[in-house]
Amino acid sequence: MLLKNKRCRFAVIIAFIGLLGIAALLLFSSKFLPPSSVSHIDDKKITASDEGWNVPVRYVFISDKDNPKMAVFDTYTQKIVAHITLQTLADSIDISPQGGFILYAKRGEKTLYRLDLRTLEQQPITVTAPVEQLSVHASGRWVAYTSDNKVIVNDLSSNQELSINTRGNVSLLYAPAGDTLFINETEQGKLTRINLLDQQQQVLVDIGKPVSPISIMPNMMALFFSADKQLYRYSLLDEKLTHYPSIAADERPYITSESRNLLTISNSDSHLQQNSQRQPRLLLVNAYTLALKHSYQLSNIAKGDDKIATGWLEQTAVVIGKHHIASLATIEKSPQLVLFNMKTQHIDALVDTGLKQPDKVLMGQTATLCH
């Protein structure tokens, strides 16, 4: 059992370092790697099976930044199997794996579009305010969206709305389980918990300074964020906020799926060995004791741009198959989808999506390593 746990921890560490390595590899991919065989699918009406594209562990949906179009990627065959014409640009988009649909909207418009993944029917949903960004609850019952210093929560089952005033930039995150929405006003350091059933609001944190987006333990024991280059932990059990000056966290901390480990990026000199040059590092932290377990230098991965590391973790759909661990990502100003194998640390394939500018990558359910 001990050996197994060590192997699991090592696999998690290798997987995350692999994610961070995508950025550097992409710089060289177009020169050294031939594109894979590509399945180009012309736009057409798709006759869906009983489940259609509603197979959360199989299909990946890729939006186009400049066109109302979406590509469907089959992770089993590793091919683009369809293109879906949308009603408008999908500037903001999210998926409800339990509800079996995708919601998308053009920024600044008052209409959401619901794409049913079984029938492929698209229905408009009129809302009361222009949409900036949206987030859908896993069950599909609620959608929360930001609009002009407000967060509006719409109960799609009754069309009732709850409006919460906010200031500055906001990040939205649903609890891994249950009916709770966390509203994080990142410029103010204010975190509010919303009970979606009774609409009760509770301010958990209000520290009056910028904070990173939060990450929540899947077991709902605590949540984490960084501020002033320090790691913070808020206990959801005793509602206490604690900061850890010894952990120099510059970016959002990520929690692994078993709730055991945190990963974050640090630029602090305190984690450097004597006579070492200042380089961004990946820190692996015990999520319960907050003790630093390992520190990995990223000089050969991050290429001096530490933010790209956490950016890739946020925008990457991680797919774990029976015989491999791969990740999917889009490249800026390229029509290709990157399949990066985190075990071999190489790009397996570059798949032509048939889109002009692939943007967001959505998958209903993944064996994701981070939250």
Tokens coding 278: 């200042």
Distances (CA, A) of 165 to 132, 134, 150, 208, 351: 15, 16, 5, 16, 43
Q: What contacts 3, CB < 8 A, 6 or more positions away? A: none
Q: What is the pLDDT of residue 197?
A: 93
pLDDT of residue 46: 42
- The pLDDT score that the predictor gives to residue 192 is 97
Provide the b/e sequence for 225-263 (b: ≥16 CB within 10 Å).
bbbeebbbbbebeeeeeebbeebbbbbbbbbbbebbbbb
Domains of the chain, residue spans: 41-315+355-363
Strand order from edge to edge, sheet including 101-105: 92-96, 101-105, 111-116, 122-126
Q: Report pLDDT for 275.
A: 47
pLDDT value for 339: 83
41-315+355-363 CATH:
2.130.10.10
CA 77, CA 316: separation in Å to the nearest integer?
Answer: 19
Q: What is residue 111's predicted lDDT score, i.e. its pLDDT?
A: 97
CA–CA distance, 304 with 29 (Å, rounded to integer): 19
Per-position pLDDT tens, the chain of length 371 = 433 454 445 444 545 555 555 544 444 444 333 333 333 344 434 444 457 788 877 899 999 999 999 999 998 888 999 999 999 999 999 999 889 999 999 999 999 999 999 999 999 999 999 999 999 998 999 999 999 999 999 999 998 999 999 999 999 999 887 899 999 999 999 999 999 999 999 999 999 999 999 999 988 999 999 999 899 999 999 999 998 888 888 788 888 777 888 888 787 655 445 445 556 677 888 999 989 888 876 543 433 333 434 444 555 666 666 556 777 878 777 898 888 776 666 778 889 999 999 988 888 765 455 56
